[in-house]
Chain A
């Protein structure tokens, strides 16, 4: 099958609502969203605390968070595989080769991205915002809410980047999920599998979906950054 034929077939698969294809897209989106939702609150809280407080070991935390950004996803997958396998410490959960296992992996991979980006966003905020809130009588959580609101563009960019990281990774989903059709097959693992089988149509169709998601995310990010730049210029 030529590339043009494969691409034409890919569009047919997409627009005729091929159930196998859309099941893969659904598994990918649902596990990525679930992982992101689980990772976001602790990562934002941690990013805020590290960004706003001086404590012994703070630079080590920042160093580790930034180093974790470049952690290979297959390594995360391997570690989680060992932990979730029957003899591992989390083996009793029976999450290996399940969507829950993928969600756990996505959560672990989104954490450093969310943490590092939130940390950068919070550090970029003028410290007078927190001081002003404090001086006007805000309690700790109210100061945090105020600072995160002022850093909202950066925090939203963190969440979008975290989503980009988890939706596009392949190593962890493959190792922890097992690429089981209809159950744990995600967009990226399906592309890898179908390409290895020589069936390019589904791979191209899923690639189009991934590119569409990337375009949407980056478009949203650009809109947000546009507002942020405008606000900064006015300030």
Chain B
């Protein structure tokens, strides 16, 4: 799909294609030093990656690329607090994070990870989208209002009370994105979000990037999607041979 299709969506965000935008608003969000992940192989351990420094700023959009098996998903899962790794130091919004697994509650609420193939709880579409808001103690009427808006955004309003297991892969992906988006996370981690999408659903994912940044969040997307990689204003990390390269 051509990038030009999304030009109207992204025009406001990418005012100058040569500059990473909103530099004046950018502050350090996440800083990781000495991040190593080893995988056990029988008696031996294989070093998957050894990253010296990883910096993510507020109002930042990043794509994470690399060959299959390079460790993109694992890196996102480590950053999302779902997987253990050796971390020398981790700072979030200027504060040292002393416990990196599991993350403290504040950090878990600030960082949201979405699987490549998300699962939906076997309740209803509306409950799925409102789940994180309920956990945060948001009043019920506010949850209902936000869920309505999110369902409209994701184009799943007509599926409000549907059994999530009956949804198509694309619909599940959109509900999962809406479920993450309503939380307005400071850092949103998406693992191959367009891999199984086409048409409007794929455009929505691409649209989500400037939307998250506009709302003050940052986003890291692991992908092979050339349109996402080529988006102007989006910075690129590449995992190669266990090292993180900044492109």
User: A residues bordering B, Cβ < 8 Å?
Assistant: 126, 128-129, 131-139, 142, 146, 149-150, 231, 234-235
Contact = CB atoms under 8 A, between A and B. Distances in A.
B136 to A, nearest CB: 6
Interface of B: 80-82, 102, 105, 108-109, 111-115, 117-119, 121-122, 131-132, 135-136, 163, 165-166, 179-180, 183
Contacts of A129: 119, 121
A103 B89 CA distance: 54
A36 B117 CA distance: 38
20 contacts: A128-B118, A128-B119, A131-B113, A132-B119, A133-B121, A134-B81, A134-B108, A135-B81, A135-B82, A136-B131, A136-B180, A137-B105, A137-B108, A137-B109, A138-B135, A146-B121, A150-B121, A231-B122, A231-B165, A234-B163
Contacts of A234: 163, 165-166
B115 A128 contact: yes
Contacts of A135: 80-82, 108, 111-114
A136 B118 contact: no
Contacts, number: 59
B204 to A, nearest CB: 20
Contacts of A146: 121
Nearest to A131: B82
Contacts of B113: 131, 135
B126 to A, nearest CB: 15
A146 B131 CA distance: 10
B224 to A, nearest CB: 21
A142 B135 contact: yes
Nearest to A153: B122
A128 B166 CA distance: 18
B135 A137 contact: yes
Given A136-B179, A137-B136, A150 B122 contact: yes
A147 to B, nearest CB: 10
B132 A136 contact: yes
A139 B179 contact: no
A107 to B, nearest CB: 31
Given A139-B105, A139-B135, 16 more contacts: A128-B118, A129-B119, A131-B82, A132-B115, A132-B121, A135-B81, A135-B113, A136-B112, A136-B132, A136-B180, A136-B183, A137-B108, A137-B136, A138-B135, A146-B121, A150-B121
Q: Please provide the 4 A-B residue pairs with the shortest distance between their CB atoms, ordered closest to farther.
A: A136-B132, A234-B165, A128-B119, A135-B113
B135 A235 contact: no
Contacts of B108: 134-135, 137
Contacts of A139: 105, 135
